[in-house]
A and B are shown apart, each in its own frame.
Chain A
């Protein structure tokens, strides 16, 4: 008996404590692929490949960017305008969507009352809300933010709702057996169990928000990265279209990094294996 206990202790002590503090390594393959992409684009334009006659080469784009855009406050204002809309829409969607999802998941009567409405509104694409939104809201800014909000809102509601319904019953039961009351179960068990789903909702929501904000700006906006791209098209300046597109890509990428960072903060127990 004693020996077994000693053996168990020894086997625990022997196990090396894993440390995962590797510095982020440069992704050479990724860098190579990006370089190859620009190179291919450049040569396709140079060789006047079918479809590429009207397209500007990366060098022209870079040239236009460096001479006309990098120091142009109007260009940077487009970034600010789009980011603002994304952040407003995104944050509003979380602030309203998470509590609604929790309510839907926990209150049966509320669920039966409200869920059908959500199920009807959810499949309506955010862009189909544009006309109504313009009519309803006093300013274009508000209507664009509203449409952006719609894009992320239903995703987060459904994610949280499903998460609440799928909480392992053992997790509830254990808390009750240990003497927890309703409030404690809510704060210490329910909220943390839906955090992973909130995180998924945030990732998906962020992607949709950028989609929607760009389209909404093209339709209704008078500034922003979407508008910039659209104006490039209308004025037949292909370089501007491409600058707009790359900017949108970068903006989306930056947002993803931000959301990933938030998610890691929200779930310290993840990725510690």
Chain B
């Protein structure tokens, strides 16, 4: 077995999850979710909004537990949050009371693996790479949306996690910033090859970034389809004009269309 196979391999077996609310019938969110996230690959999870994508992500990171089933990270069951997995949240989770620098060095200092000097040096390096070095002493409230996202990436990467989960990270950014961030992010991924679960509801984003797309659907949600995206890397936006891209898009659209038709008929 090669060592790469031990870095951030995630096996998900038969996850089922209900949300229990006081005075209400439990809501069945996830049903029999089983899949494998391959190490060093970027797996995109797609689905309509409200289908339980975030819930799935929380379970992968160990923030909440499933009612049934199991998540294995490199063979070890995931039961609680751990520093080998990190999530970039849908809405920014940077702590508003800390400067960008304090946010980024939090991880290394919390685990006291490194001294403050070492952590600061590493953080500066990352911030420079993300074009944020001038903003290290600013508070998150002073940053634009795209800058916040990059600061969060720095905050996550400094900890060298084995798995990153990004929950619709570019949602709410304007179109230009979004495209820049996608381009920026794919370059970062191709450099680091960090095992990634990327959640989105945008098909173009999904195909552009992914090695594999898992499409969620149904009520309660399950993985209804897995699509391999074999577009060559490194990728630029040029792939969006290729024949293969259009084929994958067509295939995905058929699945998504079928899903949304079902949703509509169920709603009526």
Contact A178 B93 (CB under 8 A): no
A94-102, A103-111, A180-188, A213-221: which lies at the interface: A180-188
Within the assembled complex, what's the spacing in Å between the Cα atoms of A273 and B98? 14
Contact A174 B183 (CB under 8 A): no
Number of interface residues of B (CB under 8 A): 42
Within the assembled complex, what's the spacing in Å between the Cα atoms of A181 and B85? 16
A7-B180, A8-B180, A12-B147 in contact; A177/B141 too (CB < 8 A)?
A: no
Contact B142 A273 (CB under 8 A): yes
A8-B131, A178-B107, A178-B110 in contact; A195/B97 too (CB < 8 A)?
A: yes
Contact B89 A175 (CB under 8 A): no
Contacting residue for A178 out of B83, B139, B141, CB 8 A: B83
Contact A4 B183 (CB under 8 A): yes
Contact B61 A173 (CB under 8 A): yes
Q: Is A25 an interface residue (CB 8 A)?
A: no
The residue in chain A whose Cβ has the minimal distance to the Cβ of B138 is A272
Contact B184 A12 (CB under 8 A): no
Contact B184 A5 (CB under 8 A): yes
B210: A residues at CB distance < 8 A: none
Contact B93 A170 (CB under 8 A): yes
Segment 95-147 of B: residues with Cβ below 8 Å from A:
95-98, 106-107, 110-111, 131-132, 134-135, 138-142, 144, 146-147
Q: What is the CB-to-nearest-CB distance from A190 to chain B, in angstroms, rounded to a whole number?
A: 11
Q: Is A179 an interface residue (CB 8 A)?
A: yes
Number of interface residues of A (CB under 8 A): 34
Contact B110 A171 (CB under 8 A): no
Contacting residue for B87 out of A177, A179, A180, A272, CB 8 A: A177
Contact A171 B93 (CB under 8 A): yes
Q: Is B159 an interface residue (CB 8 A)?
A: yes
Within the assembled complex, what's the spacing in Å between the Cα atoms of A72 and B187? 77
Within the assembled complex, what's the spacing in Å between the Cα atoms of A142 and B89? 51
Q: Is A204 an interface residue (CB 8 A)?
A: no
A175: B residues at CB distance < 8 A: 106, 110
Contact A177 B187 (CB under 8 A): no
B82: A residues at CB distance < 8 A: 177, 179
Contact B93 A179 (CB under 8 A): no
Segment 222-251 of B: residues with Cβ below 8 Å from A:
234, 236
B200: A residues at CB distance < 8 A: none
Contacting residue for A173 out of B87, B183, B184, B234, CB 8 A: B87
The residue in chain B whose Cβ has the minimal distance to the Cβ of A267 is B97
The residue in chain B whose Cβ has the minimal distance to the Cβ of A185 is B110
Within the assembled complex, what's the spacing in Å between the Cα atoms of A267 and B146? 24
Within the assembled complex, what's the spacing in Å between the Cα atoms of A98 and B183? 47
The residue in chain A whose Cβ has the minimal distance to the Cβ of B93 is A170
Contact A178 B86 (CB under 8 A): yes
Q: Is A130 an interface residue (CB 8 A)?
A: no
The residue in chain B whose Cβ has the minimal distance to the Cβ of A189 is B95
Q: Is B81 an interface residue (CB 8 A)?
A: yes
Q: What does the 1/0 interface line of B67-87 toward A look like (CB < 8 Å)? A: 000000000000011110111
Segment 129-176 of B: residues with Cβ below 8 Å from A:
131-132, 134-135, 138-142, 144, 146-147, 155, 159, 161
Identify the 4 closest CB pairs spanning chains A and B, nearest first: A178-B107, A179-B83, A176-B81, A179-B111
B contact set with A: CB distance below 8 Å? 58, 61, 63, 80-83, 85-87, 89, 91, 93, 95-98, 106-107, 110-111, 131-132, 134-135, 138-142, 144, 146-147, 155, 159, 161, 180, 183-184, 187, 234, 236
7 intermolecular pairs with C-beta atoms under 8 Å apart: A4-B180, A8-B146, A173-B63, A177-B61, A184-B110, A189-B95, A269-B141
